[in-house]
Amino acid sequence: MTGKPDERPLVLHVFYRFDVGGLENGVVNLINRMPEDAYRHAILALTEVTDFKRRVQRDDVRYISLHKPPGHLFRLFPRLVRIFRELRPAIVHSRNLAALEVTVPAWLAGVPVRLHGEHGYDVHDLDGSNATYRWLRRAYNPFVSHWIALSRDLQNYLVDRVGIPARKVTQIYNGVDAERFHPASLSDATFVDCPFRRPEHWLIGTVGRMQAVKNQTLLARAFIRALEIAPELRPRLRLVMVGDGPLRREAQALLAAAGVADLAWLPGERDDVPALLRSLDCFVLPSQAEGISNTILEAMATGLPVIATRVGGNPELVVDGRSGRLVPADDVEAMAEAILVYAQQPALAQEHGRQSRAEVERRFSLEAMVAAYRALYDRCLAIDARQNWSDNLTS
């Protein structure tokens, strides 16, 4: 005797690689927070689904790794068509340029709704100026039912520079878990592993994969420069850089060459980011490009003032002079000066941190994000149902 078929529509989320990162964390939040009676979910990685999947709290999610070799996805099209026909998803939701190609086999397999999300510019196209990448998006547009942009900046890019019709693009901000990420209490004065102690020390820090696009070496150079400008801060100002990657050794070498390695802590990758953020006094994001940064939102929810580069969606999150400071990308002097403003005026830093938290509560809740995605999923499926009904009438 067989059980009753599960009639909940299936959303198949497609990534190049499902690993630690802001994009993936946003999807974990979406799956964990969306009511279970609304949609089923599955995750497909063209390369690998890593242990990051443990953050998904539901036990009904299927995970598929294709272990794609380098090169074009075309060779995997027949396999993808078979997978799509087996799973019969109502929605295939791919993300970023590396996964855009799956919209073709999804179309061939008859998947009703094919959504594609743009979460940020490609590492080889930091300002969206690459003509080939714009052409690729236009070429695949007929196979995409609807596009999702995480920021107004990306929405404008898709409509104005790529040429996607505005009616096919919806902008949805990431949400942040304001319960998990919350301001420090008196008992959260300093994270236990950290060699520095508040209030004796004033800590600036960053969290993220240490790779070129995140440009953490800019923060290391700005920290060095801030101490050169105001050497009286040396007993108090400290730097925390959490994450691993190719720039970690480079940042360590810069700090050591400047004679300030003992004033910085670079512990590598951690899985206790909320507690680490609560140990900081100021958060810095020195990226060369961004979509909508989850780490900025997490820092804002923690009640920290944010210093960020004026790139991508950062100006949509940080209100310059109210919840943080925006500086030009790769400008050591400007970032050093922003650090000094807060280090020398801790009361101002605390006020801007309070404004950060208020901004998150007003605009960037997880509930708002989940509601927006659910409404879009519902709307796209309803449109598909109406089109099928119309086709049946005329056939």
Q: Which two tokens stand for residue 252?
A: 């360590």
- How much is the pLDDT for 2? 53
CATH fold for the domain made of 186-363: Rossmann fold (3.40.50)
- Angle, to 10 degrees, between the axis of helix 22-33 and the axis of helix 294-301? 60
- Give the type of residue at 322: R
- How much is the pLDDT for 395? 34
CA separation for the pair 122, 99 (Å, rounded): 12
CA separation for the pair 267, 251 (Å, rounded): 12
CA separation for the pair 146, 165 (Å, rounded): 10
CA separation for the pair 338, 307 (Å, rounded): 7
- How much is the pLDDT for 28? 95
CA separation for the pair 66, 74 (Å, rounded): 13
CA separation for the pair 376, 192 (Å, rounded): 43
322 contacts: CB under 8 Å, gap ≥ 6: 352, 355
Residue entry with tokens 């600036």 = 204
Query: Can you say whether the dihedral through the CA atoms of 347, 352, 353, 357 is positive or negative?
Result: positive
Taking only the tens of pLDDT, the chain with its 395 residues reads 456 788 899 999 999 999 988 889 899 999 999 999 999 999 999 999 999 999 999 999 999 999 999 888 899 999 999 999 999 999 999 999 999 999 999 999 999 999 999 998 887 888 889 999 999 999 999 999 999 999 999 999 999 999 999 999 999 999 999 999 999 876 555 566 889 988 899 999 999 989 999 999 999 999 999 999 999 999 999 999 999 999 999 999 999 999 999 999 999 988 889 999 999 999 999 999 898 898 999 999 999 999 999 999 999 999 999 999 999 999 999 999 999 999 999 999 999 999 999 999 999 999 999 999 999 999 999 987 766 644 433 33
- How much is the pLDDT for 123? 78
Query: Is the previous residue joined to 165 through a cis bond, with omega within 30 degrees of 0?
Result: no
In this prediction the pTM is 0.85
Assess contact for 354 and 362: CB atoms under 8 A: no
Which letter does DSSP use for residue 61 in this model? Answer: -
Specify the pairing of strand 10-15 against strand 91-95.
parallel
378 contacts: CB under 8 Å, gap ≥ 6: none
Query: Can you say whether the dihedral through the CA atoms of 65, 67, 71, 75 is positive or negative?
Result: negative
- Give the type of residue at 227: L
Number of residues written out for the chain: 395
Assess contact for 165 and 133: CB atoms under 8 A: no
Tell me where in the chain the CATH 3.40.50.2000 domain(s) lie.
10-175+366-394, 186-363
CATH assignment, 10-175+366-394: 3.40.50.2000
